[in-house]
Structure 1
Amino acid sequence: MADKSDEESKGGFLDKVKDFIQDIGEKIEETVGFGKPTADVTDIHIPKINLERADIVIDVLIKNPNPIPIPLIDINYLIESDGRKLISGLIPDAGTIHAHGSETVKIPVCLIYDDIKSTYEDIQPGSIIPYKVKVDLIVDVPVLGRITIPLEKTGEIPIPFKPEIDIDKIRFNKFSFEETVATLHLKLGNKNDFDLGLNDLDYEVWLCDVSIGGAELEKSANIEKNGFCYVDVPITFRPKDCGSALWDMIRGKGTGYSMKGNINVDTPFGAMKLPISKEGGTTKLKKNKEDGEEEEEDDDEE
């Protein structure tokens, strides 16, 4: 049987060994300088947005204070609006953060508007909805082990609505059967809760099912939210190709037309390319005043 004093000696020795190991560990940690990484959501941008989807990129800046690289094991992300999930996902094995370095990790997310609208009926096209991005970064730090770094960022995102377009009237400056130079007086409507800065149009016009080609915008215009504006667009076409529509134009009668194409606009959320179309419209072709001739007023002119 061991002497009591021997047991006390052994106990005291083991305690000293534990203290020594703990001291050594603390000194190593202090010397090497292991610490928790830090992170921040530095930016959320929308590189592409249209009527169907929005591509979102979340920039997360991660700083590693440690003398060795640390692996970024997983990234969990969630985008919600008013507490309701819009999209979530997981990015495994997201890379490595360099020693004593920093790196911006980009998290690509795609929001499909049909999925959102089918789930949340109160989210209407043309509206701006608030969102909250939640990101959990899981890193593996020597000595400290696995650490989860939670991040949050709020903002707003639009649900774009298709612009409306009408040919208010067609006014010609030079008329001949071979070539007519005219001006399309277009009315553009914006049912979105944000302004549209019109930069360019890309479209084709049909008069009585006969294409008269496209036109280019001469100057930019601003369409205020839930408002409309008028723009004049020059166009050149051959009336003799229009068939029976030509005689309706000469007589000043209403002429059926259709339009289809796209407009390029600037918005507070970035550039957008939005489709425009009009089927079964009716407009008039009027001649400008020449040689003292009085111009007829359109019946439907505002």
Structure 2
Amino acid sequence: MSQLLDKAKNYLAEKVADVPKPEASITDVDFERVSSEGAEYMAKVSVKNPYSTPIPICEIKYILKSADREIASGTIPDPGSLKASDITMLDVPVKVLHSILLSLAKDIGADWIINYQLDLGLTIDLPVIGKFTIPLTQKGEIKLPTVSDMFA
């Protein structure tokens, strides 16, 4: 009997592994604006839904790092859903506090550009499978806000 159960589990595991899953990528990270709290960057995420029905997005979690230290993190609960059989563009606002920006400015010097790594987890609710997290990572350079950015 246990052999039959093991075969059934293996069969189901193979079938679930072959089920198409949504694919995602971070397409861009740019400076957006300065607020009273800090600077806001906008990460653009492209998500392709292979299913003919919309898929709910449970949450988006992010961590922004520079020089191997965390400079921002957050969670966006219930950001909507993915369009059926289409590509959905998601905007993920990433807020960096002024105190952290000041410490970064001391470290970088005159060019006002920092190297970053954005780790993002897009959790969706797939039919039959349940909650599924798509891990994304992007490395690059972003501009720190200048005094003129604050008054623009």
- Answer whether TM exceeds 0.5 for this pair: yes
Q: Which digits, 9 at most, give the CA deviation of each residue in 1:87-115, with x for residues without a partner?
A: 00001111111221221010112223323
Q: Which digits, 9 at most, give the CA deviation of each residue in 1:61-82, with x for residues without a partner?
A: 1111012211110100010002
Instruction: Indicate the percent of aligned positions where both proteins have the same amino acid.
Output: 32
Q: Which digits, 9 at most, give the CA deviation of each residue in 1:212-235, with x for residues without a partner?
A: xxxxxxxxxxxxxxxxxxxxxxxx
Give the superposition deviation at 1:153.
Answer: 1.2
Q: Which of the numbers 106, 119, 123 marks the counterpart of 1:134? A: 119
**Aligned equivalent of 1:189:** none
Give the superposition deviation at 1:40.
Answer: 0.6
Extract structure 1 runs of 4+ deviating beyond 6 A.
none
Could you tell me how far apart the structure 2 residues matched to 1:109 and 1:63 are?
22
Q: Which of the numbers 108, 125, 128 marks the counterpart of 1:143? A: 128
Q: If the length of structure 1 is used for normalisation, what is the TM-score?
A: 0.40
Could you tell me how far apart the structure 2 residues matched to 1:44 and 1:121 are?
19
* Residue 136 of structure 2 corresponds to residue 158 of structure 1: no
Give the superposition deviation at 1:156.
Answer: 1.7
**Structure number with larger C-alpha Rg:** 1
Could you tell me how far apart the structure 1 residues matched to 2:20 and 2:73 are?
29
**Aligned equivalent of 1:36:** 21
Could you tell me how far apart the structure 2 residues matched to 1:116 and 1:146 are?
35
Q: Which of the numbers 56, 59, 65 marks the counterpart of 2:41? A: 56
* Residue 32 of structure 2 corresponds to residue 68 of structure 1: no
- Aligned to 1:123, the other structure's residue is in SS state helix
- Contact residue 58 and residue 125 of structure 2 kept, 8 A: yes
1:36 counterpart letter in structure 2: K
Task: Give structure 1 stretches of 5+ with no counterpart.
Answer: 1-10, 163-263, 265-271, 276-302
Q: Which of the numbers 54, 58, 82 marks the counterpart of 1:97? A: 82
Give the superposition deviation at 1:121.
Answer: 8.5
RMSD over aligned Cα atoms: 3.2
- Aligned to 1:117, the other structure's residue is in SS state helix
**Aligned equivalent of 1:85:** 70
- Aligned to 2:107, the other structure's residue is in SS state coil
The count of residues paired between Structure 1 and Structure 2 equals 141
Q: Which of the numbers 106, 122, 135 marks the counterpart of 2:91? A: 106
Q: Which digits, 9 at most, give the CA deviation of each residue in 1:130-149, with x for residues without a partner?
A: 11111100111112222110
1:108 counterpart letter in structure 2: P
2:140 counterpart letter in structure 1: G
More helix by share: 2
Structure with more relative contact order (C-alpha pairs < 8 Å, separation 6 or more): 2
- Contact residue 77 and residue 134 of structure 1 kept, 8 A: yes
- Contact residue 50 and residue 86 of structure 2 kept, 8 A: yes
Alignment of 1:1-302 (within 5 A): 35-49=20-34, 53-118=38-103, 123=107, 126=110, 127-159=112-144, 272=149
Task: Give structure 2 stretches of 5+ with no counterpart.
Answer: none
Could you tell me how far apart the structure 2 residues matched to 1:36 and 1:160 are?
38
| Distance verdict in 2 for CA 1:158–1:101, change over 3 Å | closer
**Aligned equivalent of 1:199:** none
